[in-house]
Chains A and B, each alone.
Chain A
Amino acid sequence: MIRAVIVMNTQGKPRLTKFYDFQPPEKQQEMIRKVFGVLCNRPENVSNFIQADDIFGPDCKIVYKHLATLYFIFVFDSSENELAMLDLIQVFVETLDRCFKNVCELDVVFNFNKMHTILNEIILGGQVLETSSEEVMKAIEEISRLEKSTSAVSLIPKAVSGKLGR
């Protein structure tokens, strides 16, 4: 199963973290630090896999992808196929790209709740749920459409929009 999904930038700042087994925040930070330590020491043009049993427990591996200023990292155990995980990262990134039109780090920073929504459509409880970015997009659009329609009914946004206008 997939143990965790981490997105961080090349300075080691986490941009999205999701652990499928609960980890207390301090432990999470420690893991993120260690992963970053390993990643930034990797040379260019090497494999995308890292044996990570010293960070995440026995049998755990990391697959990562370095895109622009971001690292996309999936942590999983031996029941998953490394190459397939690499493609799952691809699915995730493709979906982000569709969603934000040329995704960049800023999109990721300001929309990490949306990132979580996307991730929840792809991975559920550590298992791969959906691998077609089109299907994911459909679900996401449906959610935002319905969210809009419900929030239109509700009676808040005056204050917020006023604030934004400033």
Chain B
Amino acid sequence: MGSQGGWGQSKEFLDLVKSIGEARSKAEEDRIVLSEIETLKRRIAEPDVPRRRMKEYIIRLVYVEMLGHDASFGYIHAVKMTHDDSLSLKRTGYLAVTLFLNEDHDLIILIVNTIQKDLRSDNYLVVCAALTAVCRLINEETIPAVLPQIVELLGHPKEAIRKKAVMALHRFYQRAPGSVSHLISNFRKRLCDNDPGVMGATLCPLFDLITADPSSYKDLVMSFVSILKQVAEKRLPKSYDYHQMPAPFIQIKLLKILALLGSGDKQASEQMYTILSDIFRKGESTSNIGNAILYQCICCVSSIYPNTKSLEAAADATSKFLKSDNHNLRYMGIDALGRLIKINPEIAEEHQLAVIDCLEDPDDTLKRKTFELLYKMTKSTNVEVIVDRMIDYMININDHHYKTEIASRCVELAEQYAPSNHWFIQTMNKVFEHAGDLVNVRVAHNLMRLIAEGFGEDDEGADSQLRSSAVESYLRILGEPKLPSVFLQVICWVLGEYGTMDGKCSASYIIGKLCDVAEAHANDDTVKAYATTAIMKIFAYEIAAGRKVEMLPECQALIDELSASHSTDLQQRAYELQALMGLDVHAVESVMPLDASCEDIEVDRSLPFLSSFVQQSLEKGARPYISESEQSGMSHVNIFRSQDLHEVSGHTLRFEAYQLPKPAPPASAPIAFAPPTDLVPVSDPTYARDIQPPPKVPSSLDALSADVGVRLRLEGVQKKWGKPTYSSSAASSSSSTSQKTVNGATHLDGVGSMSAQARDNLYDSRRQQVEVSAEKQKLAASLFGASSSKNEKKPSSHKTIKGSAGNVEKPTTMVKAVTSSEPTEKTSVPPPPDLLDLGEPAPETKPSVDPFQQLEGLLGPAPVQSTPDSSVVAGPREPDLMALYSDIPMTNLSGTSTNPTATNFYAVSKNPQGATNVSTLKKGPNPQDSLEKDALARQVGVTPSGKNPNLFRDLFG
């Protein structure tokens, strides 16, 4: 124990810590802490506790509260301690109050005065302690009390104080921006402080200010750039170095600020390119902090106006991250990739294998990040793979929060990019099955709506096929135990609506199933209600079709049970069902029309069928109905009177309505109780009250779903489901929706994606030196195939540009995707060149490559077909190829290298394995050439990865 005395604590405290450390259970620990609290309560209240001793008590209080126990009895002593003259005690007091009190605590008012005094102290450490407390304890109301002193301290000779004063002012800005808005110029001033530490501290508030309003700080771009330059060039004192990096935290902060200022601002961005590439060049990727700077640099590049060279550097740095063994770096790499693909979707392709590795990594954080990336790069061509993967992953997570998120992402992607309705329904079923309680109810309504409305095309056959497949799958799924409530509602609705539609299942079979559902979920009224209404619908259809339905015993039992239910809703449904069974065919048809869930229901709010009754009543001297808006200004008495009049005409004023229980039902909806004779002609008038006034509403549930159908606007969803977008990947990958798919265009796209698949597979089979598992390759192909197919399609758009109008969309969408990168760079080529490609004026080599791919697609038997309708694609393929050949000379007119590339292309096409051939294709010392080569190689099908070192030596080396 003697040695521990050196920590300056008493034996009691040491014993306390020790006994807590030795506690074997939470209960034992609690007991120890509670007895400690008792001791402290007693001791602290003793008169004349020595101050030194008091300090220890306060520290013990903090300790107790850290362990989760209430120490509020001692707060006042902590406050008192801040008044002490001794620095050590004062600091302890401040420490305790900053940990104990929140800024709105009543005791704060007792501290403000002390803080004011301390801010004026001669001892700079006292001022520092007060500033620390200011950052924590001052709220909006007390800001004015200390603000003048803080501003004064901005000019204090000690840099530590200037720094903290800046931070305090920043804190005020965060708390109440209005209170310091007139002082913002001070931050700009402090940016020029002599002390780099103060300057660095100033960057924090400036970052917040610029986030809020970048446009007012554009004038500072030059200053930030020059500061960054000086820092990067090690012009700061050595003491700011951290692990041999010059002031890395300042650099990172500056890069963040520049990213904000340069976003969407070409002029500002241009000032940054030089320094950014400098930092990339000096980039130190061996230390953690060096990588932090590189990462921040990538973020900056991806945020500012794009510049080819810095994007290149950023892509390089990203690939280094991804290739690293360090999980942290790979995590950063995935994040960086997610940023870069927003600008250039093709970058992802290079790293497909790395991405897939991350997906299979045991590290959950990395996995989640990778799913985030995949979510960002989903398009109609890879949606199936990605969503399947997501669902697989989703099934295995326990964390509700994240499960909800990933389930809603699956739904979102499926709604947006679903290749077919069938797939969509299957996917939704899976999501509902595993995370049904976590998804939004809206999703269930969308699904029902989709099944009801079908393709949105006039293809009844396909619709009914879709429905019967849905019914079939639901009947199967019903066998599973423990389905979520929302999913059961969907199932019941679909079974009721379409269960007997295709004639495969008998009505009694479906009814039996529905009864089982209702029985198995006795506690879930909503499910029971859905099931009952579904049963009613099936009965109605059977009656309408003139078939005799026998009542199953379990169904009768269900009805009996529900009629006695506590839920009025269930009761009503049961009675409705019974009433319906007594109706004749015509009445049933008009009450429950077949397959009418998509019909619009027009609710005539004026209720014209009541007018004769109203007229009669008026003639008898009743008061006219006063609308709700008029009523609002009137007394309750009047409201009641008018309601009573509607209910039972002839009643006189009843002021006692509030007190006496009325035999009549609640008066909230007087109109509903209009005399039954005014309703639709129904054979049995006693049940008419149960059927709701608007004659077309089949039941309250149908009204609900129809209503939802009317209200829910699934913007654009229906459009995306159509067939045209299925094969065209461009529409989904680019932000543009102005897509003009003219007849041949979609087929062309089909060729593109198909040949990509074929090419990938062909290549896989040939590439033996690569020892990556075939499964992974396949996954990569299906994930990234889309982007590579896009790669090939572009040139075809160049060629066919004058011929097929349908393909004009391609280049325009590409341009949009880059968010207007400099078009001036490549004005030589008439058709809009591919701005996304990093290699500069490369377009002339591309056309020569493309036919090769398409050729290869022809050569191979195209083993894997993701496209279901390959027969459609086969037709236009040949003519297209011919067109390509004839077009080559035309597109190459602008380039001088026409002939060599053309011949090279033939050479390559004869030897499709030619990864190495490709590297001899072109010789050139400059990086542009190697980039072209890279692009070319990629199109040939070589996946750039660590496994092809000789190909990329000149690129990266």
Partners in one complex: yes
Q: Are B362 and A151 in contact (CB under 8 A)?
A: no
Told that A43-B362, A125-B174, A139-B160 touch, could you supply 18 new A-B pairs with CB distance under 8 A? A22-B103, A46-B327, A46-B363, A83-B291, A91-B242, A109-B17, A110-B9, A110-B14, A112-B59, A112-B62, A113-B95, A125-B171, A132-B242, A151-B86, A154-B51, A160-B10, A160-B50, A166-B11
Q: Which residues of B contact A117 (CB under 8 A)?
A: 91, 95
**Cα distance, A6 to B62, chains bound together (Å):** 15
Residues 35-72 of B at the A interface (beta carbon under 8 Å): 50-53, 59, 62-63, 65-70
| Complex partner residue of A87 from B13, B92, B292, B369, CB under 8 angstroms | B292
Minimum C-beta distance from A64 to chain B (A) = 11
| Complex partner residue of B68 from A25, A51, A87, A125, CB under 8 angstroms | A25
Minimum C-beta distance from A78 to chain B (A) = 11
Minimum C-beta distance from B462 to chain A (A) = 42
Q: Are B95 and A159 in contact (CB under 8 A)?
A: no
**Cα distance, A24 to B100, chains bound together (Å):** 9
- Asked if A49 is at the interface (CB within 8 A of a chain B CB), the reply is yes
Q: Are A46 and B365 in contact (CB under 8 A)?
A: yes
Q: Which residues of A contact B20 (CB under 8 A)?
A: 13
Q: Are A14 and B67 in contact (CB under 8 A)?
A: yes
- Asked if A98 is at the interface (CB within 8 A of a chain B CB), the reply is no
**Cα distance, A126 to B402, chains bound together (Å):** 26
Q: Which residues of B contact A29 (CB under 8 A)?
A: 68
- Asked if A53 is at the interface (CB within 8 A of a chain B CB), the reply is yes
| Complex partner residue of B170 from A113, A127, A130, CB under 8 angstroms | A127
Residues 335-378 of B at the A interface (beta carbon under 8 Å): 361-366, 368-369
Q: Are B365 and A50 in contact (CB under 8 A)?
A: yes
Residues 125-163 of A at the B interface (beta carbon under 8 Å): 125, 127-132, 134-135, 139, 142-143, 146-147, 150-151, 154, 156-157, 159-160, 163
Minimum CB distance partner of B69 in chain A: A25
Q: Which residues of A contact B858 (CB under 8 A)?
A: none
Interface string of B81-125 (1 = CB under 8 A from A): 000011110011001000100110000000000000000000101
Q: Are A116 and B167 in contact (CB under 8 A)?
A: no
**Cα distance, A90 to B248, chains bound together (Å):** 14
A-B contact count (CB 8 A): 186
- Asked if B399 is at the interface (CB within 8 A of a chain A CB), the reply is yes
Q: Are B292 and A84 in contact (CB under 8 A)?
A: yes
- Asked if A40 is at the interface (CB within 8 A of a chain B CB), the reply is no
- Asked if A45 is at the interface (CB within 8 A of a chain B CB), the reply is yes
Q: Are A125 and B363 in contact (CB under 8 A)?
A: no
With A14-B67, A125-B171, A160-B10 already in contact, the answer to whether A87 and B248 are too (CB < 8 A) is yes
Minimum CB distance partner of B5 in chain A: A164
Q: Which residues of A contact B362 (CB under 8 A)?
A: 43, 46
**Cα distance, A74 to B50, chains bound together (Å):** 37
Minimum C-beta distance from B739 to chain A (A) = 34
With A84-B248, A111-B7, A150-B86 already in contact, the answer to whether A26 and B63 are too (CB < 8 A) is no
- Asked if A10 is at the interface (CB within 8 A of a chain B CB), the reply is no
Minimum C-beta distance from B298 to chain A (A) = 11
Residues 2-33 of B at the A interface (beta carbon under 8 Å): 4-5, 7, 9-11, 13-14, 17, 20-21
- Asked if B826 is at the interface (CB within 8 A of a chain A CB), the reply is no
Q: Are B132 and A110 in contact (CB under 8 A)?
A: no
Q: Are B292 and A160 in contact (CB under 8 A)?
A: no
- Asked if A102 is at the interface (CB within 8 A of a chain B CB), the reply is no
Q: Are A125 and B87 in contact (CB under 8 A)?
A: no
Interface string of B319-338 (1 = CB under 8 A from A): 00000000110111000000
Q: Are A146 and B123 in contact (CB under 8 A)?
A: yes
Q: List 24 A-B contacts (CB under 8 A).
A: A13-B67, A25-B68, A47-B328, A47-B330, A51-B402, A54-B399, A54-B401, A83-B288, A83-B291, A106-B4, A110-B13, A110-B17, A112-B66, A117-B95, A124-B167, A125-B167, A127-B167, A130-B163, A134-B239, A135-B197, A150-B86, A154-B51, A160-B53, A163-B11
Q: Are A157 and B52 in contact (CB under 8 A)?
A: yes
Q: Are A47 and B331 in contact (CB under 8 A)?
A: yes
Q: Are B328 and A48 in contact (CB under 8 A)?
A: yes
Interface size on B, residues (CB 8 A): 84
Minimum CB distance partner of B160 in chain A: A139
| Complex partner residue of B102 from A22, A91, A110, CB under 8 angstroms | A22
- Asked if B135 is at the interface (CB within 8 A of a chain A CB), the reply is yes
**Cα distance, A42 to B51, chains bound together (Å):** 45
Residues 48-76 of A at the B interface (beta carbon under 8 Å): 48-51, 53-54
| Complex partner residue of B91 from A48, A91, A143, CB under 8 angstroms | A143
- Asked if B168 is at the interface (CB within 8 A of a chain A CB), the reply is yes
| Complex partner residue of A154 from B59, B70, B86, CB under 8 angstroms | B86
Q: Which residues of A contact B167 (CB under 8 A)?
A: 124-125, 127, 129
Identify the interface centre among A49, A109, A127: most chain B CB within 10 Å of its CB: A127
Minimum CB distance partner of B3 in chain A: A106
**Cα distance, A109 to B399, chains bound together (Å):** 32
Q: Which residues of A contact B829 (CB under 8 A)?
A: none
Q: Are A49 and B197 in contact (CB under 8 A)?
A: no
Q: Are B366 and A47 in contact (CB under 8 A)?
A: yes
Minimum CB distance partner of B58 in chain A: A113
Minimum CB distance partner of A165 in chain B: B5
**Cα distance, A22 to B65, chains bound together (Å):** 14
Q: Which residues of A contact B171 (CB under 8 A)?
A: 125
Q: Which residues of A contact B50 (CB under 8 A)?
A: 156, 159-160
With A86-B288, A87-B292, A132-B240 already in contact, the answer to whether A146 and B125 are too (CB < 8 A) is yes
Q: Are A81 and B70 in contact (CB under 8 A)?
A: no
Minimum C-beta distance from A111 to chain B (A) = 6
Q: Are A49 and B328 in contact (CB under 8 A)?
A: yes
Minimum C-beta distance from A158 to chain B (A) = 9
Minimum C-beta distance from A86 to chain B (A) = 6
- Asked if B309 is at the interface (CB within 8 A of a chain A CB), the reply is no
**Cα distance, A49 to B363, chains bound together (Å):** 10
| Complex partner residue of B59 from A47, A106, A113, CB under 8 angstroms | A113
Identify the interface centre among A29, A46, A112, A157: most chain B CB within 10 Å of its CB: A46
Minimum C-beta distance from B638 to chain A (A) = 50
Q: Are A124 and B292 in contact (CB under 8 A)?
A: no
Minimum C-beta distance from A134 to chain B (A) = 6
**Cα distance, A88 to B201, chains bound together (Å):** 15
Minimum C-beta distance from A123 to chain B (A) = 10
| Complex partner residue of A86 from B135, B328, B399, CB under 8 angstroms | B328
Minimum CB distance partner of B289 in chain A: A87
Q: Are B328 and A18 in contact (CB under 8 A)?
A: no
**Cα distance, A79 to B259, chains bound together (Å):** 12
Minimum C-beta distance from B374 to chain A (A) = 15
Minimum C-beta distance from B520 to chain A (A) = 32
Q: Which residues of B contact A130 (CB under 8 A)?
A: 163, 197
Q: Which residues of B contact A51 (CB under 8 A)?
A: 365, 368-369, 402
With A113-B95, A117-B91, A127-B170 already in contact, the answer to whether A79 and B256 are too (CB < 8 A) is yes
Minimum CB distance partner of B330 in chain A: A47
**Cα distance, A135 to B198, chains bound together (Å):** 13
Q: Which residues of A contact B168 (CB under 8 A)?
A: 125
Q: Which residues of A contact B269 (CB under 8 A)?
A: none
Q: Which residues of A contact B366 (CB under 8 A)?
A: 46-47
- Asked if B229 is at the interface (CB within 8 A of a chain A CB), the reply is no
Minimum C-beta distance from B508 to chain A (A) = 47
**Cα distance, A75 to B66, chains bound together (Å):** 17
With A28-B68, A113-B62, A131-B242 already in contact, the answer to whether A147 and B51 are too (CB < 8 A) is no
Minimum C-beta distance from B126 to chain A (A) = 9
**Cα distance, A146 to B332, chains bound together (Å):** 44
Q: Are A160 and B249 in contact (CB under 8 A)?
A: no
Minimum CB distance partner of B168 in chain A: A125
- Asked if B796 is at the interface (CB within 8 A of a chain A CB), the reply is no
**Cα distance, A96 to B508, chains bound together (Å):** 76
- Asked if B706 is at the interface (CB within 8 A of a chain A CB), the reply is no
Q: Which residues of B contact A50 (CB under 8 A)?
A: 365
Interface string of B373-403 (1 = CB under 8 A from A): 0000000000000000000000000011110
**Cα distance, A118 to B136, chains bound together (Å):** 16
Minimum CB distance partner of A135 in chain B: B239
**Cα distance, A16 to B332, chains bound together (Å):** 28
**Cα distance, A134 to B331, chains bound together (Å):** 31
